[in-house]
Amino acid sequence: MKYFILAGEKSGDLHGSNLVKQIILIDAKAEIIGWGGDQMKSEGVEIIVHHQELAIMGILGVLKNLFRLKKLFNLFSNQIREFKPDTIIFIDFGGFNLKAAKIAKLGGFHTQFYIAPKVWAWNKSRINSIKKWVDQLYVIFPFELDLFKEKGISTHYIGNPLKDAIDTFVPNPEFRYVNKDYIALLAGSRRQEINAGLPIFEELVQTWPEKKFIIAGVSEFKDLYENSSIKVVYDQTYDLLSCSSVAVVTSGTATLETALLNIPQIVVYKTDWLFYILAKMVIKIKYISLVNIILNKKAVPELIQSEFNSKNIQAWLLKLLDKTSFEYKNQKADYENLNKLIGPSGASKLAAEKIVLYAKNQSK
């Protein structure tokens, strides 16, 4: 069968690569093309648009790129008409992918959405779009199942694919920083996030020279680190985290990955003020990090906007570097509860089985 996958960011590329691996085990003759990155490509996907071309964040980012977005949607429409896939799989990246799902559905294609848009955080009106444009929805948090099912959406809980990635991670024996205690700085996987956080990390390192800091960088944004005084390792986040005592993590998927790797963390985030003010008006959740959202408590500290500064980070690092501290012990205990809630690995395999089965049934 023919599959078209649309993964619009680095985390989607990771989940897409694990999903593709399982699809090929089920359907050895699978022909798969799509939008993604190097990890999907390494599993045999023909990447026709790289996810870095979709790295647009914030209201200002969208307004500045309206013409480019229109061109991307037109390109997607032309590509699926030419390829004629048996099913189209959208991975996360809700703002873009729901619009693409509408294009696909109106074009007569079957649509499957892997990792549901986070409508529980804000913009619940998107549930109506999901119901209208998505045939099958696969969710990765248990609390999402009832939310979508009660709206009449065909929804499946398949576990969390990050468990697959963590459980199959094998440390690189050639990683040069092994067996040393570092403070990992995860600056994000988007250009806007790195630009916002890097100056603060630079100030932190300059005011605390006795500590060993290393940035977990993304290779496609090497240009942003050219003038950095901080050591950077590219595309080796898990290796760096596994030999770090603590991490400062830009909010996103990486917060959950850090927790599942059992590394104490401080969550940080900064965006353009217009987007932040508008988001504050519509956000429906108390926390921004996945760890805190899943546990429904402030298990890890969150430093947002003006609170994201070197002084606050240093104060929290002192607490978490002390293994006898209340903060350190509490965070570790919360991580244990988090693992129980997430459950075992196998999400990619289960999702692939359901996706392939649905595609086969629809093609009969």
Q: Where are the beta strands (DSSP E) in the chain?
A: 2-7, 31-36, 46-50, 87-91, 111-114, 136-139, 155-157, 182-186, 213-217, 231-234, 244-250, 265-269, 302-304
pLDDT in tens, 21-58: 999 999 999 999 999 999 999 999 999 999 988 865 44
* pLDDT at position 325: 98
Domain topology for 182-342: Rossmann fold (3.40.50)
- Fold identical between 2-162+345-363 and 182-342? yes
Domain topology for 2-162+345-363: Rossmann fold (3.40.50)
* pLDDT at position 120: 85
* pLDDT at position 68: 79
Complete DSSP assignment for 66-120? HHHHHHHHHHHHHHHHHH--SEEEEES-HHHHHHHHHHHHHTT--EEEES---TT
Domain residue ranges of the chain, discontinuous segments joined by +: 2-162+345-363, 182-342
* pLDDT at position 59: 46
Those residues of the chain that have pLDDT short of 50 are: 57-60
pTM of this structure:
0.78
* pLDDT at position 363: 79
* pLDDT at position 314: 97
